[in-house]
Amino acid sequence: MSRARSLPILLVVQFLLGGPLFAFHSVECFMLSLARRAAFAPIPEFTLSVHTTTQRSRREAQHKFDTRLDAVAKTGGKVLQSAEEFTSTVLKKSDGPILVFFTAPWCGPCRLSVPVVKEIMKEFSESLQVVEVCTDDLPEVASDADVVSIPTIQMYNNGQVMDTIVGCVAQSVLSSSVSKVLEDIEQQNQ
């Protein structure tokens, strides 16, 4: 026989007469509180909702739901889904520079950076490849790339980091950074 796994229950009670929102950790705690209140005052009308909590957070569940089968990032670039793919795409000698956008689905500043990276990808489409790394899925890749905060944008050429930008950045700043990296690459090739 299998034992049923008991889930913690969170009771949320809000009185309809403009009263505060109360949270109780068990039905017994709620009933005890209700009995104490009944002894001193009439019980107002209330709504009761029961929420079960599990080991997996809502954010993780949403992230699992958001997995993309076509591996196209929100920026329009390619999503790297393994450490081996990162090594073969970014760290090996490549045809040209690669912009790596380290992000996570729950990160607000990352979401703000998506349109900026999209515009840079369009602006430099002839000379720049854009890839995206989800730090939740590939924490070892982010760690190996010395990414300590997201969003982080790194420019690579032939496996070498050419430039790193940490945080939400304006399009003009990112554009000038990409231009400088492209100029540096041209000078190295001459």
The C-alpha atoms of residue 129 and residue 94 are separated, in whole angstroms, by 10
Catalytic residue selected from 29, 107, 134, 168: 107
The answer, yes or no, to whether the previous bond of 44 is cis (omega within 30 of 0) is no
| Measured CA angle at 137 (ends 131, 140), to 5 deg | 85
Q: CA of 171: how far to CAs of 17, 98, 116, 118, 122, in Å?
A: 50, 17, 5, 10, 12
Catalytic residue selected from 29, 110, 134, 168: 110
Q: Is 110 a catalytic residue?
A: yes
Q: Is 168 a catalytic residue?
A: no
Half-sphere exposure (Cβ direction) of 159: Cα atoms closer than 13 Å: 5
DSSP state at residue 89: I
The C-alpha atoms of residue 123 and residue 188 are separated, in whole angstroms, by 22
From the list 184, 122, 179, 117, the residue with the least C-alpha distance to 150 is 117
Active site members: 107, 110
